[in-house]
């Protein structure tokens, strides 16, 4: 599991991020620091600071003269996010697995088991994110991990939005079992190839499946 926020500011940022990624705050919804502060019994100042930080990661849009809102969803934006993920994540995964050991492989196995046993789709999305985070956690580049994490957060907006549109939207067990098995058997190239295929499949589901995501205008 990820470590708990160590400061009030970090707690507020994490609370806001989770509210977005869990669908509590919906795509396109306008955000008011004062209203959220009252709802969560906190100060508005760290919320405004969190707006700025999450805007840098793509979860929030700062609109000139129009305030703040949760980022809108579009197939065009999803394609941009996943195209970059397809470039960066295989690199981070390869570097991580090159530094893997028994403890790391045990964590990969455990987080995959949590994902496969998740009962609700929201729980599945969160367990899925943790599984992929653990796969990459041995990557030695903090910059690469930071970029990949921001892109993954942006991707989760689309996964949350797709809930309820059909089983084809769920992450398949066989894909993740294959990624897990190749990771713990030290088949680095096999694991990297499976991860790349997984990202491409997810992009196809978002771009061509039915659901609440709006088509981008031409």
> What pLDDT is recorded for position 163?
55
Closest-CA residue to 81 (of 169, 145, 155): 155
Q: What percent of the chain has a predicted confidence (pLDDT) above 90? A: 43
Q: Say whether pLDDT at 217 is over 60.
A: no
Fold: same for 8-70 and 75-208:
no
Section 118-133 average pLDDT: 86
* Contact assessment for residue 171 and residue 128, using Cβ atoms and an 8 Å cutoff: yes
In this prediction the pTM is 0.72
Q: Percentages helix, strand, coil for the chain, rounded to the nearest 5?
A: 65, 5, 30
Is residue 2 over pLDDT 50? no
Name the residue with higher pLDDT: 36 or 121. Answer: 36
Q: Render pLDDT for 58-102 as a digit per residue (tens, 0 to 9).
A: 788 888 877 899 887 777 888 888 999 999 999 999 999 999 999
Summarize the confidence of residues 111-118 as an average pLDDT. 94
Predicted pLDDT at 207: 66
**Token pair of 180, please?**
């897990």
What pLDDT, on a 0 to 100 scale, did the predictor assign at position 98?
Answer: 98
**Could you state, in order of their start, the residue ranges of all structural domains in the chain?**
8-70, 75-208
Q: What is the pLDDT of residue 161?
A: 66
- Specify the pLDDT at position 181: 97
Q: For residues 164 and 40, which has the higher predicted lDDT (pLDDT)?
A: 40
User: How far is the CA of 172 from the CAs of 112, 190, 197, in angstroms?
Assistant: 12, 18, 12
CATH fourth-level superfamily of 75-208: GntR ligand-binding domain-like (1.20.120.530)
Topology (CATH level 3) of domain 8-70: Arc Repressor Mutant, subunit A (1.10.10)
Q: Give me the pLDDT at residue 6, please.
A: 59
Q: What Å distances lie between residue 215 and 35, 37, 50, 159, 206, CA to CA?
A: 31, 33, 29, 16, 10
| pLDDT value, residue 165 | 41
């Amino acid at each position: 599991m990820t470590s708990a926020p160590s400061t009030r500011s970090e707690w507020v940022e994490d609370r806001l991020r989770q509210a977005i990624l869990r669908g509590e705050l919906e795509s396109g919804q306008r955000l008011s620091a004062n209203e959220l502060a009252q709802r969560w019994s906190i100060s508005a100042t760290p919320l405004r600071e969190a707006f700025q930080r999450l805007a840098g990661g793509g979860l929030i849009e700062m609109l000139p003269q129009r305030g703040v809102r949760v980022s809108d969803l579009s197939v065009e934006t999803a394609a941009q996010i996943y195209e970059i993920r397809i470039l960066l994540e295989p690199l981070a995964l390869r570097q991580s697995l090159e530094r893997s050991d028994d403890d790391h492989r045990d964590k990969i196995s455990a987080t995959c088991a949590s994902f496969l046993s998740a009962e609700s789709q929201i729980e599945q999305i969160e367990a899925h994110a943790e599984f992929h985070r653990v796969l990459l956690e041995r990557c030695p580049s903090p910059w690469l991990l930071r970029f990949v994490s921001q892109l993954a957060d942006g991707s989760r907006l689309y996964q949350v939005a797709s809930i309820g549109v059909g089983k084809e939207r769920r992450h398949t067990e066989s894909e993740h079992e294959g990624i897990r098995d190749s990771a713990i058997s030290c088949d680095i190239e096999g694991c990297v190839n499976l991860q790349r295929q997984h990202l491409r499949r997810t992009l196809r589901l978002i771009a061509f499946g039915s659901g609440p995501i709006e088509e981008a205008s031409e």
